[in-house]
Amino acid sequence: MPPAATAALPSIQALPTSGGMVPSRTTPAPKLTKQWQRESARSYGLGLAPALVVLGGITLLPLLTLITVSLTPLSLTNPEGTFHFNQPLGNYAQLLEDERFVHSLWVQFKLSTVGVVLQLLIGLSLALLLNTGSRVASGVRTLFLIPMVLPPIVVALIWKILYTPEISPMHALLEHWGLPVRSLIANPDTALWAIVAADVWQWFPFTMLMVLANLQMVPRDPLDAARIDGANRWQVFRYIVFPFLQRTLVVCALFRLIDSFKAFPLLYVLTNGGPGTVTEVTNFYGFIQAFNFSYWGYGSAIAVVMLVIIFALCALVSYLGRNAGERHAR
Amino acid sequence: MTRTTYQFENGVLVPRRKLLTSALAAGAGALLGFPAIAVGKNSLKGVTLNTSLYSSPYSKLIRPWIADFEDATGAKVNFDTPGFPVYNQRADLELSTKGSAFDAVNVTFIYSSRWINSGWLTPLDEYIADPNKTPANYDAKDFLEGTLAPERGTDGKLYGIPWQAEVTIAAASRFDALKQAGFAFPQTTQELEQVSKALNRKEGAAGFVTDNHYGWTFVPFLQAFGGDVFRKAPDDLFPTLDTPQAIAAAEYFARLLRESGPDGVVSYNPDQALQSIKSGKSHLSVQGQINLSQLADKSSSKVASTAAWGLVPKGPAGRFPGAAVHGWGIPVGSKNKDAAWQFIRWATSKEILQRAVAAGYGSPTRRSDIDSTVYRERQRANGYDIASLTTESIALSAKQGHMKYRTVAVYPQVDQQLNKAIELIVTNQKTPEQAMKQAQAASIAELRRAGVSI
């Protein structure tokens, strides 16, 4: 619809509240009285209030508490003596010097980057392969969704069995084929990638599902036109399908990026952050500080830093995605 | 399936059907050993008790019996038994907030000092001393003094009733294979390594297995080599993880795991380590006797007829079996303290513990149980007297006092450092010296951070 036409449309608020006919597009909108505006604003406020109260109660209050606690050296072994604001930035200063924390950020970066990229690639590839109307493809699609609907702890246990050579069918099979593999989660060179593999297995269906839904909406006309013009499959994908999917992929990347920072059950069950600290990601380190050592102030500071990083990354991914979309539109 | 309900008759647990047909039935007014003036039928009606222990043979044994307590008192008991690390994290959090989610909890040995001396648990002395709440036949003096000691705070009050006294022992799953190879049961650290190496990958089994809670499984070796965790716990808490003895012990222990352990041994939690030896996939192990005594259980162990047991191996500095006590305690935030005490009293009563021992429970805390014929018989397998190994280990621990390191409030932080250090050495990420020096530095930093002046 051209912009001029949309501008002429009356706003919802401009519509008569009772009876009467909907004004035609050429009829100027009736002038709203101030009282009506007030009434309208009040009803919006009243309508939104319950949701806002709940949102504030379950999201904002804990968040404010987290930030407040992060400014104290609160330790639960001595809560009265440690809940003070003598050095409000003490925890943050300590984080800068904490090698284990810095290391955990690096581990987190590797886990998130590799994991999310692989999930996007595998999800996209499979969605393209399964984007047919055949019954087989439909059945396979359903099968692929199973990992995603399993509780994370169950997924962790499945992979714990797979990664424990003594009881693992995977290891037994590899050994049978003359390709014995040492324990992947006990080897510092492979432990993190073993976790990435499990994470990717669980979450690539999410990308696949989103992309598949999006593929169903790709308009036929540009595809037909491209084929008539002699474009090959790669060119059709590269210049028509992929740009169409780009925003969906950005949304998937965002969701998965946020979730990757919350990776916990896999780490807890498979490696407990080890061997040593090779799989100790930031939230796991925060968990150790808060729940193993009772340093809630420090643990909260780690959580706040993670929150800031996630926000920054989301903003960056959104910006890159938007830019790419605009470039394509030009 | 019909459930047999029980009642106590003159201090003895009797099936209800038998009781009803007994001539004594008329006089059976006391339920579960409760004095009529304090607790009678349905005296706790409407009370819901939330209780929690970590998953263990004891918790598995008493779970079905809790119905008897519920029947007798009218209380409803929620009994939560997560795995050991999950339980500890949950309880630590709940107790530290002084919340009321739990009415009775396990006082975990490693956390006992922290939980008790932070004021998170309720003193139990008044309950024990009050005849209206605790009848004489409860006999609190029957508990081994050694098991009560860790349950006391610096104020001298008692905060937990011990239900488990665990010690580390050694075991061989396939003693026949060991003898065939010309070995006797390993008595020293040197012999343990020698036998583990020789048997490794023989009969499809690894040479040695233990669980990856090294703050528990490594320390007997650390001390056997002449090292220790602290300079002199509990008075001098300066860590001693980088001494030559500690480094030598770490080198030995990591080598044992790396060269003779099953593939991926550093990822083995207690259940996996136990399963490995019970299924005959590992030859030798050093773990808690509560686990290793299960090798004799024909219903779940593939090696019941070939298993052998012994004390933890002796090192250059002597023999230092690990010992741990777990008890029932009442969180300070509980809203049902009196009812919780009635439950704890029931769960640690002579009758219930006797019943547990009769069912094969291997870590009793009452002298009467340890001395009982039933216990001695149940703990005898393939000619080995596991009960004697346990009592000898407890006696050694009491005499040498080498477990004091474990009951200081800041031990959980050092425990973490030990876990990491051994993992780093086993997986060749660091040399023993580097890993132990790092553990030492990190432990000092953690202790200072916790306010310990060192």
Contact B114 A77 (CB under 8 A): yes
The stretch A258-284 carries a mean pLDDT of 93
Instruction: Record the pTM.
Output: 0.81
User: Residue B85's pLDDT is what?
Assistant: 81
Tell me the pLDDT of chain B averaged across its residues. Answer: 89
Q: Which long-range contacts (CB under 8 A, 24 or more apart) does B63-69 make?
A: B64/B3, B65/B6, B65/B352, B65/B355, B67/B3, B67/B5, B68/B5, B68/B6, B68/B7, B68/B32, B69/B32, B69/B343, B69/B346, B69/B347
Q: List the alpha helices (DSSP H) in A11-87.
A: 34-55, 61-70, 79-82
pLDDT surpasses 50 at B6: no
The pLDDT-based confidence of A307 (bands split at 50, 70, 90) is very high
Instruction: Report whether pLDDT(B16) > 70.
Output: no
Least-confidence region, from B19-28, B40-49, B328-337: B19-28
What is the structure's pLDDT at B27?
35
Average pLDDT over residues A120-143: 90
The 8-class DSSP code of residue B105 comes to: E
Burial class (CB in 10 A: 0-12, 13-18, 19+), B128: middle
More confident residue, B11 or A82: A82
Tell which of A65, A69, A74, A76 to mutate to test the B interface (max B CBs under 10 Å): A76
Q: Do B96 and A294 touch (CB under 8 A)?
A: yes
User: What is the reported pLDDT for B38?
Assistant: 45
Region B401-413: mean pLDDT is 87
- DSSP codes, B267-280: G--HHHHHHHHHTT
- B20 membership: H or E segment, kind and range: helix B16-21
Q: What's the pLDDT at B37?
A: 37
Q: How confident is the model at residue B188 (pLDDT cuts 50, 70, 90)?
A: very high
Query: If you average pLDDT over every residue of chain A, what do you get?
Result: 87
Contact A155, A266 (CB under 8 A): yes
Chain A positions touching B89 (Cβ under 8 A) are: 291-292
The residue in chain A having the minimum alpha-carbon distance to the alpha carbon of residue B421 is A276
CB contact under 8 A, B281 and A165: no
Residue B255: band (very low, low, confident or very high) from pLDDT cuts 50, 70, 90:
very high
Please say if the pLDDT value at position A33 is more than 50: yes
Q: Per-residue pLDDT averaged across A265-287, rounded? A: 94
Chain B positions touching A163 (Cβ under 8 A) are 264, 267
pLDDT at position B360, please?
Answer: 84
Mean pLDDT of B412-424: 94
- Give the separation between CA B420 and CA A292, rounded to whole angstroms: 14
B64 in contact with A, Cβ within 8 Å:
no
Mean pLDDT (whole number) for B247-252 = 98
Q: What pLDDT was estimated at residue A195?
A: 97
Buried b (16+ CB within 10 A) or exposed e, B416-428: bbbbbbbbbbbbe
Q: A293 or A98: whose pLDDT is higher?
A: A98
Confidence at residue A263, expressed as pLDDT on a 0 to 100 scale: 85
Cβ pair B297, B304 in contact under 8 A = yes
Task: For residue B266, list chain A residues with Cβ-Cβ distance below 8 A.
Answer: 186, 274-275
Q: How far apart are CA B308 and CA B305, in angstroms?
A: 9
Is the pLDDT at B159 greater than 90? The verdict is yes
CA A206 to chain B, closest CA, distance in angstroms equals 30
Q: How confident is the model at residue B408 (pLDDT cuts 50, 70, 90)?
A: confident
Q: What is the pLDDT of residue B154?
A: 85
Q: pLDDT digit string (tens) for B53-95?
A: 999 889 999 999 999 999 999 999 999 999 888 899 899 889 9
**pLDDT at residue number B340:** 97
Query: Residue A317: which pLDDT band, with cuts at 50, 70 and 90?
Result: confident
Q: CA end-to-end span of chain B, whole Å?
A: 61
pLDDT digits (tens, 9 = 90+) for B274-314: 999 999 999 999 999 988 998 998 999 999 999 999 999 99
Q: What is the pLDDT of residue B398?
A: 82
Tokens of B412: 């959980």
Q: Each residue of B116-128: pLDDT tens digit?
A: 988 999 999 999 9
The pLDDT value recorded for residue A239 is: 92
When pLDDT is cut at 50, 70 and 90, the band that residue B450 belongs to is confident
| pLDDT score, position A330 | 57
Instruction: Using a CB–CB cutoff of 8 Å, tell me whether B139 touches chain A.
Output: no
Please name the member of A78, A183, A291 whose beta carbon is closest to the beta carbon of B263. A183
Distance in angstroms (rounded) separating the CA atoms of residues B66 and B399 = 37
- What are the pLDDT digits (tens) for B432-444? 999 999 999 999 9
A90, two tokens: 């003490």
B267 interaction partners in chain A (CB closer than 8 Å):
163-164, 183, 185-186, 270-272, 274-275
> Is B204 part of the contact surface with chain A (CB cutoff 8 Å)?
no
- For residue A182, the chain B residues in CB contact (below 8 A) are 263-264
pLDDT at B33: 44
**Mean pLDDT, residues B415-420 taken together:** 94
Residue A3: pLDDT band (50, 70, 90) is very low
Q: Please report where in the chains the tokens 């939104």 appear, as a residue.
A: A48
How far, rounded to the nearest angstrom, does the alpha carbon of residue B372 sit from its chain's CA centroid? Answer: 20
Identify the residue among B427, B434, B443, B446 best suited for mutation to test binding to A, counting A beta carbons within 10 A and taking the highest: B427
Among B residues 352-411, those touching chain A with beta carbons less than 8 Å apart: 409
Residue B346, pLDDT score: 97
**A9/A26 Cα distance (integer angstroms):** 9
Mean pLDDT value across residues A33-42: 88
- Cα separation, B105 vs B110, whole angstroms: 14
Select the residue of B89, B114, B427 nearest A188 (Cβ to Cβ): B427
